[in-house]
A and B are shown apart, each in its own frame.
Chain A
Amino acid sequence: MTTMQLKETALASTHKKMGARMVDFAGWNMPVQYKSIISEHMAVRNKVGLFDVSHMGEFLVSGQDAHNFVQYVIANDVNKLKSPNCALYTQFVKPDGGTIDDLIVYRREHDFLLVVNASNIEKDWQWLQKHSNSFKDLKLTDISDRTGLLALQGPKAQELLSKITSTDLANMPSFAYDKAKVNNFDISFGRTGYTGEDGFEIFVDVDHLDKLWQILFDVGNNFGIEACGLGARDTLRLEAGLPLYGHELDESTSPLEAGLDFSVKLDKGEFLGKDALYKQKELGLTKKLIGLRTESQALPRAGYEVNIDGTKIGTITSGSQGIFVGYPIAFAYVEPKYAKLGQILNVTIRNNDVKAEVIKRPFYKRCH
């Protein structure tokens, strides 16, 4: 128990009224589950689920130098955002190659919106301040406290959101960003998410957050919507092969080690962490993230040891029952020579070695 006052989103009392179990997540009092993680997970895979992720951080970057600054602090290439109203996934990388955070960058009409992990808001803010000195015409604004964020995820998300906006969502590409009016207030949304399903992450001023939640639920009832907590968010992202900061990514792990090569653009020009990442690419990695499937009823969990013939070769970073796929799945860091698909390893679960096979990530890929 901590004596520190936990922060709450504008929906905290709504969550409690709905029977959510609240837990301390990165200093925030957040719903971990409502009825059942399994049922919330399946609702997102089969229908639609709604998550309150307002604890996440949002920074605005504006000014003449905004583009160059963002390009300097991220590992992906901001020039991929050819016109306003689209987004990309990326990381802030330290000069030694370690990861400060992973985030989504939205290019908007007049600025960039950076959405970062709740646990890293202060660290990221200081990191950006520290590296902003050589950029003259630059304004950084932390709008986390004013920004509500809901994730509407699942195969029915588009149809549901279409009921309350006039935007042509059928033709909205993945990672596009748009604005709309709902009732008398403004929302904006990216076709993004953290579940492996189609869906939207919807930004709204905190004053309208509760109203937006209610509207999405009222309309969503016809689609079988379920309120989803951080428990299902974790099992969904794991099944979808997505990293979680603090588990698969941290300050001693590079995005290349995490297998995020698609989001690291070494040829884009100078940026923080480039030399270290370049060296890793040239010399090879010392550890590699793998996907594992175990043959056990007992579940592989973060921190469990991975061995081969009794010799430790790595550690599980996340593990759970793959609720949709139907078998236990995990991420682990191992020595690269053991990272081949089909490699058989052992995971030590409570002093017993359980057989595990290196399998392809994502563990789940949607087909609709």
Chain B
Amino acid sequence: MADSPSKTLSYPEELKYVKTHEYVRVENDTATIGITAFAADQLGDVTYVELPKAGTKLNKEDKFGVIESVKSVSDLYMPATGEIVAVNDRLLSEPELVNLDCYGTGWMLKIKLSNTNDLQDMLSAKAYKEFVVE
């Protein structure tokens, strides 16, 4: 029997969120991007993450990759405009990190933000949580 009947998903206060279920962690003009606990939970067991190369420039709302679970395939979208400065290569061999630790070792991209105004349109942890329980 399931150990935890109703699992609690976490949404760290210090992160920003978008409605396509990506989060950003901002440090100066760099943002770390991944998918939220809600998205990881909805996908179930992640089997593959397809990510762009470092150096790629993408606009806010552009598709930056694909995530596959046993059950489904979903596109990943840029929460902000910027140049990709690092990609989490560990996800190639350990896609399950997205399920195990989406806000830590399961991160996907680091980007250099082109426009910090992009952050203003994003949701707080509280607002995102309200959005997903709707």
A residues whose Cβ falls under 8 Å from a Cβ of B = 17-21, 32-38, 217, 221, 227, 231, 235, 297-299, 301, 320-321, 323, 350
Query: Are B45 and A36 closer than 8 Å at their CB atoms?
Result: yes
Note all chain B residues with C-beta closer than 8 A to A37. Answer: 44-45, 70-71
In contact, A235 and B1 (Cβ under 8 angstroms) = no
Residue A18 contacts which of B5, B44, B73 (CB distance < 8 angstroms)? B5
- Within 8 Å CB of A36, what residues of B? 44-45, 99
From B95, which residue of chain A is reached at the shortest CB distance?
A297
Partner of A19, one of B7, B44, B73, B99: B7
- Nearest B residue (CB) for A221: B1
Number of A-B contacts (CB under 8 A): 51
- In this complex, which of B45, B73, B99 has the most chain A Cβ atoms within 10 angstroms of its Cβ? B45
User: Considering only CB atoms, which chain B residue lies closest to A297 in the complex?
Assistant: B48
Q: Is the CB of B1 within 8 A of A299?
A: no
Binary interface profile of B, 95-108, with partner A (CB < 8 Å = 1, else 0)?
00001000000000
A235 to B71, CA, bound (A): 9
Q: With A and B bound together, what is the CA distance between A195 and B67 in angstroms?
A: 27
A20 to B6, CA, bound (A): 9
A285 to chain B, nearest CB (A): 31
Closest to A220 in B: B1
- Known A-B contacts A298-B68, A299-B68, A301-B73; the reply to A34 vs B2 at CB < 8 A is yes
Add 8 more A-B contacts to A37-B70, A217-B1, A321-B47 (CB < 8 A): A19-B2, A19-B4, A34-B2, A37-B45, A37-B71, A227-B1, A231-B44, A235-B70
**12 interchain pairs, CB-CB under 8 A:** A17-B5, A18-B1, A18-B5, A19-B6, A33-B71, A36-B99, A37-B45, A227-B1, A297-B48, A298-B68, A299-B47, A299-B48
Q: Count of chain B residues with Cβ under 8 Å from any Cβ of A?
A: 19
**How far apart sit A227 and B66, CA to CA, in the bound complex (Å)?**
30
Alpha-carbon distance between A196 and B10 when the two chains are bound, in angstroms:
38
Residues of B near A33 (CB, < 8 A) are: 44, 71
Partner of B2, one of A35, A221, A299, A350: A35
Which residues of chain B come closer than 8 Å to A18, judged between CB atoms? 1-2, 5
Which residues in B have their C-beta under 8 angstroms from that of A34? 2
Judged by a CB distance under 8 angstroms, whether B83 is at the interface is no
B66, B68, B70, B73 — most chain A CB neighbours (10 Å): B70
List the B side residues contacting A235 at CB < 8 Å.
70
Q: State in angstroms the CA–CA spacing of A35 and B1 once bound together.
A: 10
Q: Which residues of A contact B4 (CB under 8 A)?
A: 19
